[in-house]
Amino acid sequence: MIVKEIELINYRSYSNNKFAFFDKGALITGRNGIGKTNLLEAVTYFSLGKSHKKLKDGDLIKFGENFFFIKIIFQCNGRDICVNAGYDRNNKKIIKVNDVLINKNSELLKYLKVVYFSPSDTDLIYGSPGVRRRFFDLAVSQTDFRYLEILKKYNQILKQRNALLRSEFNLSEKRVWDRRFAEKIYEISRMRKDYLADFNKLAVEKYSQVSGALEKIEISYKSAVPDEYKDSVKSVNEYIAAGEEKEIRYERSLVGVHLDDYFIRIDGIPAREFSSQGQARSIACALRLAQAELIFGIAGERPVLIFDDVMADLDKMRVNNLIKAILGKYQIFIASPDGDLYRDLNLNIINLENI
Ligand SMILES: Nc1ncnc2c1ncn2[C@@H]1O[C@H](COP(=O)(O)OP(=O)(O)O)[C@@H](O)[C@H]1O
Ligand SMILES: [Mg+2]
């Protein structure tokens, strides 16, 4: 996957700018606050149809303006695809792929695949379960588009089931919802588990590449449904049935994949409690690299890699080794206020001070 050019009109700090990129990628430099992240996040916008930081579209409009319009051209499976997205304060958002309107933002996941290495990635280690679920949900969707649809259905069922539990209901009605709920729990937990099996192997390999350390990292899937109940929809349903009384008392769903978590350990020790900042950064990079490699392994196309100022707290020699290992395989974008750090990579330099 190669991003060829991007055009930004009234998007965040940009008024009207166009950038062209080489196959290898680019080094984006300029002082803090100049717009490096804004530019890279605009690229990412086209992989999701929305901000990956969950910002509202209205907040992406340049202050004082009424709309934004952004356009990208990238190569995917050997052909050029043009996507544009516009959002107007009065009208709805419009996204077109090769001039054809799309119905759902999520359709974009089929086209542009981006792996974004962000400074806040250490939240994957230190943060709440929700951060890890979001990471894996996106990662799985990038390899299997059906996953996102199933997850959406699951969330609808969860919402309706919770509404039911809060209302006056009869048990037979609840049990119809239980069965639907169990089906989706079964499907999603299986997909998460299968993904993780492949992911784990890669993450171990990438961690030693990034950190140079001999420790072994391991990610395990901590499902809200105990393993002995996960063999079939029927047994998931039995598990739900066993908790019926309690759920009726609490008036909400107390089981489900929305409560899942992923445990990360280094040499058997929980990373969340015991890893240093440097170790956490290395783990986060390893997770992102594993995400990228699985996209290639399963979807057959290498994603675009974006390193937004993440390598400052890694050992310089390692960073160079890491980047050299992927340079030329992936198109990579690096944002850093200090371009000198990466000069020997010979990436095309885009200095935002000069635009
Ligand atoms: N909607 C917006 N309109 C105008 N400026 C914005 C908007 N959103 C963010 N900015 C500005 O963008 C700047 C941050 O840009 P950023 O890309 O994060 O910089 P950096 O180069 O440090 O990564 C801030 O000065 C902020 O005020
Ligand atoms: Mg930034």
> What does each C-alpha distance from 347 to 28, 83, 118, 327 come to in angstroms?
9, 25, 20, 9
DSSP string, 16-79: EEEEE-BTTEEEEE-STTSSHHHHHHHHHHHHHTS-TT---HHHHBPTT-SEEEEEEEEEETTE
Query: For atom 9 of ligand 1, which residue has the closest CA?
Result: 12
**Ligand 1: does its nearest atom lie under 6 Å from the Cβ of 31?**
no
The stretch 70-98 carries a mean pLDDT of 95
Q: How confident is the model at residue 306 (pLDDT cuts 50, 70, 90)?
A: very high
CA of 38, nearest ligand number: 1
> Could you read off the pLDDT of 322-349 as tens digits, one per residue?
887 798 899 999 999 988 888 888 899 9
C-alpha 74 – ligand 2 centre gap (Å) = 23
Q: How confident is the model at residue 239 (pLDDT cuts 50, 70, 90)?
A: very high
Pick from 52-61, 211-220, 236-245: least confident: 211-220
pLDDT at res. 224: 83
Is residue 234 within 8 A of residue 247, CB to CB? The reply is no
CA of 309, nearest ligand number: 2
Enumerate helices (H) and strands (E) in the chain, giving the number of each: 11, 14
Is residue 85 within 8 A of residue 69, CB to CB? The reply is yes
Report the distance separating Cα 126 and Cα 128, nearest Å.
7
Q: Output 88 or 325, whichever has higher pLDDT.
A: 88
**Ligand 1: does its nearest atom lie under 6 Å from the Cβ of 33?**
yes
Is residue 333 within 8 A of residue 307, CB to CB? The reply is yes
Average pLDDT over all residues of the chain = 94
Q: Report whether pLDDT(28) > 90.
A: yes
Q: Report whether pLDDT(190) > 80.
A: yes
> Which domains, and CATH codes, for the chain?
1-113+301-355 (3.40.50.300), 120-298 (1.20.1050.90)
**Ligand 1: does its nearest atom lie under 6 Å from the Cβ of 64?**
no
pLDDT at res. 314: 77
Q: Output 327 or 132, whichever has higher pLDDT.
A: 132
The stretch 270-290 carries a mean pLDDT of 93
**Ligand 1: does its nearest atom lie under 6 Å from the Cβ of 12?**
yes
Q: Report whether pLDDT(193) > 80.
A: yes
Q: Which long-range contacts (CB under 8 A, 24 or more apart) does 188-191 make?
A: 188/147, 188/150, 188/151, 188/154, 188/257, 189/221, 189/223, 189/225, 189/230, 189/257, 189/260, 190/230, 191/140, 191/144, 191/147, 191/150
**Counting beta carbons within 10 angstroms of the beta carbon of residue 78, is it exposed (0 to 12), middle (13 to 18) or buried (19 or more)?**
exposed
Q: What percent of the chain has pLDDT over 90?
A: 83
The stretch 288-298 carries a mean pLDDT of 96
